Amino acid sequence: MTVANPTAPPATPVAPRFEPALMRRKLTGTIFYGACLAAIGVLLLALTFLLIDVFRRGLPWLDLGFLSGVPSRRPANAGILPALVGSFQVGIFVAIFSFPLGVAAAIYLTEYAKDNWFNRLLQTNISNLAGVPSIIYGILGLALFVRLLGLGPTSLAAGLTMTLLILPVVIIASIEALKAVPDAQREGAYALGATRWQMVRGSIFPAAAPGIMTGLILAMARAIGEAAPLLLIGASVFVTFLPNPLEGSYTVLPIQVLQWASRPQADFQGISAAAIIVILALMLVLNGLALVVRARLSRHIQW
Amino acid sequence: MNTQLSEAPVREAATNGPGPAIRLATLPAGGAAPTVDAAPEYVVELRDVSCYYGAFRAVRNVDIKVAKNAITALIGPSGCGKSTLLRTINRMNDLVPSYRSEGQIMLDGQDLFAKEVDPVAVRRRVGMVFQKPNPFPKTIWENVAFGPKVNGYKGNLNELVETSLRRAALWDDVKDKLKQSGMSLSGGQQQRLCIARTIAVNPEVILMDEPCSALDPRSTLQIEELMAELKREYTIVIVTHNMQQAARASDTTVFMTMGEDRAGFVVEQGPTAQIFTNPRNQLTEDYVSGRFG
């Protein structure tokens, strides 16, 4: 009993030691804030440079005649109507094919497929496909659609090739959107006696639709801006008539830009820049559409 | 000695089912209980039901009788398998990949586990209201109409939606905004919308899995009042963590707990008043008096 009780509290309790260092912590925060701002700054700078350069060169060439004209050897007479129409055709084909294919595949993978190694492998592979260089899809499109199916160098073949190109992105975006729907939604539908398909149609799809449609529209924007695969599957560089989607040749805006930009004459550089402005405007329209569609489809959704 | 003496008549009443004497004690102020003195009619009977998640037995050998037009409360500590049992009755847990169950669940004399019984058909007859209100991201009208639509309802949907919302005591709140999102409502209103949605398919039994745990006291009271109304036409089984709620709102209480093997089992069931004031089992008494759980 001579040993002091080790569990007894010390006579004077030691004050808990904190070092608030408030100034230092706030400084760290300020530095991080600055870094984030700088990151945005870099992006804005690059974008501003691009826009100023493009508009400075291209704006003088941009008029109604340019939009409604056909390519010409003389830049002053050249227009981009065939390329604009070709891009629209490709875009529409992409929308028609990739929406049902992408959404159905995503619904299969999230709502139907069992969680086994095969389906996980499948999903990983789809993610990998999104990273395959677009030129590879051009080779595939050439072999499959242009030659094997005999579609020839048409905007239909281009639309199908672009569909393959963006399908992984559409599927991944749709899967993410479907997975974000709480399981309570699935149970709610099942509890009323819905079958799996009725559950998907009535509850899960409407809930995931904003995310799915946003993903689809952004992927379409990518398809419309893409040139590389089309070089392989026969997009022509000089089309002076409005393309027939099923036969004959066609061209699209990025190809037209490439063709004009590769010419040495300064005036062709100018109309190339003008065509870039048209592409940018088209992207702006598509992104705006994505916003509108998203807002419209999510009007009943408040998680 | 004392306890033994007082125990005898209760046991007798319990073996005969809730007799007239007990019925009197549990008669709610609303007077919703049937006035006939005949033995209660049982809508659902669980016979020797065991539930498994893979190799783990979550619930073992449960026998429960659910009286018609009454509210049966399942109480017990967390993890004792109340929700599992509830989700077995409408075969919701069949959706869990590793899940399986044994025994029999008789609904109007038909075994819900029988091979020829389709879970989808069971869920129309046995509705469910969940812990967190889960309205669909659709309009209020569409939320209620969804169930009838998927089940091929041929009558007037507008009428059915209105009747269902009225029965769920929500019509006056929403009659001017049926086209607004079901998710725009308050928590309590959302839960009543989910109840309206459930009764729109005219189920025989309504299962409620802690329907008030996400609600404030006022909304909770509204739901309890609604339940008292609904039992005139429906049979309700409710899982609750709130013992006052079980004591206030239910006619019969089933107390579950879990054993050493973590498998839940039924300790005691009987008229709510008896379970709370005069339980026969020490485990029940410890639980309802707050000494455990």
Q: What is the ipTM of this complex?
A: 0.84
Instruction: Report CB contact under 8 Å: B134, A300.
Output: no
- CA pair distance A287, A279, nearest whole angstrom: 12
B23 in any annotated domain: yes
- Tell me what pLDDT residue A10 has: 57
Residues 6 or more apart whose Cβ sits within 8 Å of residue A189:
A198, A199, A202, A203, A204, B136, B146, B150
Searching chain B, which residue's CA lies closest to the CA of residue A303? B183
Biggest distance spanned by C-alpha atoms of chain A: 110
State mean pLDDT over A281-286.
Answer: 92
Instruction: Report CB contact under 8 Å: A202, B184.
Output: no
Please give the DSSP secondary-structure letter assigned to residue B67: E
CB contact at 8 A, B67 and B43: yes
Searching chain B, which residue's CA lies closest to the CA of residue A195? B120
- Tell me what pLDDT residue A20 has: 85
Q: Does A116 touch chain B (CB under 8 A)?
A: no
CB contact at 8 A, B123 and B91: yes
Which has the closest alpha carbon to B279: B258, B263, B255, B245?
B255
Kindly report, residue by residue over A154-171, the tens digit of the pLDDT: 999 999 999 999 999 999
Searching chain A, which residue's CA lies closest to the CA of residue B202? A192
| Residue B56 burial by Cβ neighbours in a 10 Å radius (0-12, 13-18, 19+) | exposed
- Tell me what pLDDT residue B8 has: 39
CB contact at 8 A, B73 and B254: yes
B80 in any annotated domain: yes
State mean pLDDT over A120-143.
Answer: 92
- CA pair distance B227, B230, nearest whole angstrom: 5
Which has the closest alpha carbon to A177: A195, A197, A200?
A200
Is residue A96 over pLDDT 90?
Answer: yes
B10 in any annotated domain: yes
Q: Where are the domains of chain A?
A: 65-72+79-297
Task: Tell me which residue has tokens 């398909």.
Answer: A197
Query: Which structural domain, as residue segments, surrounds residue B135?
Result: 2-27+40-288
| Residue B118 burial by Cβ neighbours in a 10 Å radius (0-12, 13-18, 19+) | exposed
- Give me the CATH number covering residue B65: 3.40.50.300
Instruction: Report CB contact under 8 Å: A195, B136.
Output: no
B32 in any annotated domain: no
| Residue B206 burial by Cβ neighbours in a 10 Å radius (0-12, 13-18, 19+) | buried
At A2, phi and psi to the nearest 5?
-85, -20
* Per-position pLDDT tens, chain B of length 293: 343 444 334 333 334 434 343 333 344 444 444 444 556 789 999 999 999 999 999 999 999 999 999 999 999 999 899 999 999 999 999 999 899 999 999 998 899 999 999 999 999 999 999 999 999 999 999 999 999 999 999 999 999 999 999 999 999 999 999 999 999 999 999 999 999 999 999 999 999 999 999 899 999 999 999 999 999 999 999 999 889 999 999 999 999 999 888 999 999 999 999 999 999 999 999 999 887 75
Interchain CB contacts (distance < 8 Å): A and B: 88
Is residue A6 over pLDDT 90?
Answer: no
Instruction: Report CB contact under 8 Å: B92, A191.
Output: yes
User: Over the range A262-295, which residues count as b (16 or more CB within 10 Å of their CB) and which as e?
Assistant: eeeeeebbbbbbbbbbbbbebeeebeeebeebbe
Integer CA distances (angstroms), A284 to A82, A201, B52, B139, B210, in order: 20, 31, 55, 32, 49
Q: Which of B97, B137, B147 sits opposite A301 (nearest CB)?
A: B137
Q: Does A12 touch chain B (CB under 8 A)?
A: no
How much of chain A, in percent, has pLDDT values that exceed 90? Answer: 74
- Does domain A65-72+79-297 correspond to CATH entry 1.20.1250.30? no
Q: Which of B123, B181, B201 sits opposite A300 (nearest CB)?
A: B181
Would strands B42-53 and B99-107 be described as parallel, antiparallel, or unpaired?
A: antiparallel
Residues paired with B181 in a beta bridge: B139
Instruction: Report CB contact under 8 Å: A185, B181.
Output: no
All residues of chain B having their beta carbon less than 8 Å from the beta carbon of residue A190 are 92, 95, 120, 123
Q: Does A29 touch chain B (CB under 8 A)?
A: no
Overall number of domains in chain B:
1
B92 in any annotated domain: yes
**C-beta contacts of A289-292 below 8 A and 24+ residues apart:** A289/A217, A290/A213, A290/A214, A290/A217, A290/A218
* B234 vs A243: which has the higher pLDDT: B234
Searching chain A, which residue's CA lies closest to the CA of residue B92? A191
- Tell me what pLDDT residue B100 has: 93
Would strands B71-75 and B99-107 be described as parallel, antiparallel, or unpaired?
A: unpaired
Instruction: Report CB contact under 8 Å: A203, B146.
Output: yes
